Structure 1
Amino acid sequence: MSLGSRASPGFYTNTSLQEVGIKGESAMLPCTFSSRTPSYNGTIVVIWRTKKAFLGPLIFQCSIMNSTSGNHSSNNCTEWDRETHRYRLVGDPRRYNLSLQIRNVAYDDKKFYYCRVELRNIRGESWTDKTGTNFTVVARPRIIRLTLSGNVSVGRSLECVVEGLPLPSITWVRPEKNEMPTPEETKYAEQDQIQSKLSVSQNGTYTCRAQNEYGQDAEELHVGEKPSETQRTIILLLLGLLLLLGLGIAAVIFMHRRYKGSLACWKVTTRDQMNPANTHHNGPSEVASKGKSEDSCTYADIQFSPEEKKGNEKRRTPIPTKEDVTYATVVTQTKK
């Protein structure tokens, strides 16, 4: 703590020359004062500026009523500022504490901060810290991305990009659990990022680990035959579709063969030798035909011929034969 500037006899303040905030977290800038009038009744005004003590940007201002009667109706110092909602007092000015809270610290918060207090009911009773508090911002390590590039034929490599301030040290853990410092590091244009690459020589789980004085972070990536959950789902779906397709093809082949083997192909011809008027038929006339080619058909020639009785004999008209054709002869008689 350092002694602040004196505004009037017996009126002093103490501030911190150096404070550190962690990115994304809350920080406090301490500031206290003392007064020669401890029994002061009236309004206390608190002001915080950056960059310059008197003319710098105003980031926070509040007022509170100090009264021995207990009337503290005027108090907006514990509320977040209306513009950014990031600043408020964590100290109580009635107890000489002007400490400021900054939430969600960012790199842009790195600057000098100055506190000021005014006792409005006492003329000239005010004080401004002319030294200021130098506020710096650091960051815990955070792995931004861990990716695999290349393939087996041209070579594979892992890339680990890490955020942190001070810049973290990076350690790789190979599948055989051997730890090794990063073989190659590249600093990014950003002040808080660093990149590390590692050649991949075998399948397995690789770990990128980053560490600085404010913390550490680690991330794993599996390289090789172990598919991810999404990949496993896609593979199972493809296998299911292939199985259904195979079953469908098998069913079609089975039905085709069964249908082919059970077809009966008939070609029926008639010859009417009883009525000369039917001689306009030039050879057998087809009555019904279905199925396949003639080579696989069974032919049935149905002939109608008159009975010529010679005793008990019946005359049959001979049927011409043909190679590779099976004939079934059906002889009918007319009723008397």
Structure 2
Amino acid sequence: MTGAALKTLDLNMQVWPSSLGSASWKMTVSSVVTASRGEDAVLSCSFAAGEEAYSGMITVKWLAREQKPAPFFQCSVKNDSVEAANPCKVPGSKYSLNGDPRRGELSLLIRKVQLADIGAFFCRVEVDKAITWGRKYLQQKIDLYVNAAPQILSVSVVETPCNQDSSAPSWLQCEVEGNPLPKVIWLSASRRQLENQGLTLESGPYRQTSCVPYLAEEAQVFTCRAESRLGDAERLFPDGDGLRIILIMCGGVLLMIVTVTVILIYCLKKNRRQQSSNSPTDGAQELQIVYSAITFTSLRR
């Protein structure tokens, strides 16, 4: 995560009445914060107190997208002792303060940022008395930018044509996501780029869908590849499980063919050996059947 373009709002110079010139309060923020998807991000925000002592409540609010919506994060602490527990730290929560408001620390910790977090945030601090700063709050804007390496969300066969001018009966559709938006490339089973790269359309923020004609009966194998300056991602279709099933089935059929072939060869060889053993050898005489007459004589007493 990197911060950029620190800017300072000096209320003593811009909005304070001249009678309050002795009290100088400043809010400092990082105008742009960049983080990577899945990492923690800290939106840097702080304020500095002037000579005037303040022992009342300090309320920190963080707002998103607009300057006047309901805050998505809020906490309050009395500015009378820094020894007391800090109620603005929320362990395990997506949002928490990365510091103690009693020390002027208002930075927001966002755990495991996602693309949905991209946008404008507003750091706001409020006090009890308007006379303290000439008004009851200070507020400044911070833009959060999230880098995201390419991800392939899904690869599937669809019947709805991706191109209305095409007569293809079915399409292979690949949906990808990333920031910056990745480029989609289709590869054949031999890892060559397809001549027909189909049609690519944006399907949402930081997402796009690419389609190519697909003939399921030809058992085609394609690879959807997504590329950007942050990296690349690939997915095979049919996927690993589907391809493994196909290979297992083909292997089973091949094994069956080999087994039947071996059995046939064995039976043919055995039959030939039997025929060879039943035929006379050279110089040997064949066995002849000899018939003899048998006479029964009756015994007389």
Determine if the TM-score, normalized by the shorter chain, exceeds 0.5. yes
Cα deviations by residue, 1:130-160 (Å, 9 ceiling, x for unpaired): 442234555431122346899xxx9998654
Partner of 1:144: 153
**Letter aligned with residue 232 of structure 2:** D
| Helix, strand or coil at the partner of 1:58 | coil
Could you give the per-residue CA deviations for residues 45-68 of structure 1, whole angstroms, max 9, x where no partner exists? Answer: 422223454x52122223456667
Between the aligned partners of 2:97 and 2:209, the Cα distance in structure 1 is 39
Q: Does 1:90 align with 2:98?
A: yes
The TM-score normalised by the length of structure 1 is: 0.53
Higher strand share: 1
Specify the code of the residue in structure 2 equivalent to 1:26: D
Q: Which residue of 2 aligns with 1:133?
A: 142
1:210 aligned partner: 226
Deviations 1:225-282 (A, max 9, x none): xx9433333344455667489969x99xx9xxxxxxxxxxxxxxxxxxxxxxxxxxxx
Preserved CA contact (<8 Å) 2:127 2:137: no
Q: Mapping of 1:291-306 within 5 angstroms? A: none
Amino acid at match of 1:77: C
The aligned residue for residue 234 of structure 1 is 249
| Structure 1 partner of 2:88 | 77
- After TM superposition, the score normalised by the length of structure 2 is 0.58
Matched residue type, 1:221: L
* 8 Å CA contact 1:116, 1:127 repeated in 2: no
What is the CA distance between 1:30 and its match in structure 2?
1.4
Give yes or no for contact 1:12–1:127 (8 Å, CA) kept in 2.
no
Residues 96-135 of structure 1: matches in 2 within 5 Å? 96-118=104-126, 124=132, 128-135=137-144
**Larger Cα Rg: Structure 1 or Structure 2?**
1
Which residue of the partner structure matches residue 194 of structure 1?
Answer: 208
The aligned counterpart of 2:64 is 50
How is 1:1-336 mapped onto 2 (pairs within 5 angstroms)?
A: 1-4=6-9, 6=11, 9-37=23-51, 44-53=58-67, 55-64=68-77, 71-72=83-84, 74-80=85-91, 85-118=93-126, 124=132, 128-137=137-146, 139-146=148-155, 159-172=173-186, 183-197=197-211, 208-213=224-229, 215-219=230-234, 221=236, 228-238=243-253, 243=259, 331=296, 333=298
The root-mean-square deviation of aligned C-alpha atoms, in Å, is 5.0
Show CA shifts across 1:275-313 (max 9, x none): xxxxxxxxxxxxxxxxxxxxxxxxxxxxxxxxxxxxxxx
Whether the 8 Å contact between 1:45 and 1:63 is mirrored in structure 2 is yes
**Deviation at residue 29 of structure 1 after TM alignment:** 1.5
- Compute the displacement of 1:92 (Å): 3.5
Deviation, 1:219, is: 1.4
Gap change, CA 1:328 and 1:80, over 3 Å in 2: farther
Higher helix share: 2
Which whole-Å CA distance do the structure 1 matches of 2:253 and 2:223 have between them?
31
Q: Give me the whole-angstrom Cα distance separating, in 2, the residues matched to 1:61 and 1:335.
A: 137
Equivalent residues of 2:55, 2:80 under 8 A apart:
yes
Secondary structure at the counterpart of residue 234 of structure 1: helix
Using the aligned pairs only, state the percent identity. Answer: 26
**Change in 2 beyond 3 A, CA 1:333/1:180:** closer
In structure 2, C-alpha distance between the alignment counterparts of 1:67 and 1:222, rounded to whole Å:
64
Deviation at 1:35, TM superposition (A): 0.3
Q: Which amino acid aligns with 2:209?
A: Q
Listed as ranges, the gaps of 5+ residues in structure 2 are 1-5, 17-22, 160-167, 271-290
